[in-house]
Amino acid sequence: MKTVAYHRTSTEDQHLDRGIAEITKYCAEHDIELYKGKVYTDQRTGKNFNRPRYQMLKEEILESGDTLIVTELDRLGRNKKATLNELRFYQDNNIRVMVLELPTTLLPIEDMENSMAKMMLETINNMMIELYASMAQAELEKKEKRQREGIEAKKARWEWSDYGRPRVMPLEEFAKKYQAVERGEKRPFELMRELQMNKATFYRYKGLLKKEVE
């Protein structure tokens, strides 16, 4: 039997090291030896479980009788239904999941002799996991809603390009700068250098400016 640790962060999240440190500290305090002496990580979205390290752990490393440690339930996944399905898979395959933010999951239920106490603790675990999975999905939906609203606001202010990327600068400002090229005072490459734009961005702005004129 072995103990495997996993931690996921989103691509923009900066807390990868903090999660690793939290798991490492817990294991040191409880004399737990991690498999390979490390925490396996993915910097991927929590919407689904299509993550290389996670899939490797699930399919090639974790076996019956093993333990999987994560810091928080949303570090495992943010989609409630998918996360509960993963937990059910581990339960069916006799793989224990310990979630550091849920103290009841850290108790050795399998070693309890009192069947009533064991049943009650398992019920509490299931209730807490259901609640935390719901909270993780709600946070994901809130984040996606804020992103959609932000994009729409940028589009409304003409701060979002046709390619779905934030503009380097407002089109109005580029138009003023570009007048020097139109007057023959500067060559395009000189303005590119001044504005610190690459060729593709410069001519994309020029194209947008042309559309504005038309």
Q: Is the domain 3-138 a CATH 3.40.1190.20 member?
A: no
Token pair, residue 195, equals 């504005």
Those residues with Cβ within 8 angstroms of residue 49's Cβ, 6 or more apart along the chain or in another chain: 55, 77, 82, 86
Token pair, residue 214, equals 């038309």
In sign, the C-alpha dihedral spanning 61, 66, 72, 78 is positive
Distance CA 210, CA 175 (A): 10
- Give Cα 135 distance to the centre of its chain: 15
pLDDT digits (tens, 9 = 90+) for 59-113: 999 999 999 999 988 888 888 888 888 998 998 999 989 999 888 888 776 666 6
Distance CA 90, CA 206 (A): 56
Question: What's the pLDDT score for residue 206?
Answer: 86
Amino acid (one-letter) located at 178: Y
Question: What's the pLDDT score for residue 168?
Answer: 67
- Sheet (strand 96-99) strand order: 34-43, 3-9, 67-70, 96-99
Token pair, residue 155, equals 């589009």
The Cβ-side half-sphere exposure at 8, using a 13 Å CA radius, reads 21
In sign, the C-alpha dihedral spanning 41, 9, 135, 137 is negative
Query: H-helix or E-strand containing 37?
Result: strand 34-43
* H helices present in 30-114, as ranges: 52-56, 73-76, 80-92
First to last CA, the chain: 71
pLDDT beyond 90 at 3: yes
Question: What's the pLDDT score for residue 61?
Answer: 95
Question: What's the pLDDT score for residue 116?
Answer: 63
Token pair, residue 111, equals 């070693």
pLDDT beyond 80 at 167: no
pLDDT beyond 90 at 57: yes
Question: What's the pLDDT score for residue 163?
Answer: 45
Distance CA 135, CA 132 (A): 5
Q: How confident is the model at residue 162 (pLDDT cuts 50, 70, 90)?
A: very low
Distance CA 206, CA 210 (A): 6
Domain locations along the chain: 3-138, 171-213
Q: To which residue do tokens 């194209």 refer? A: 207
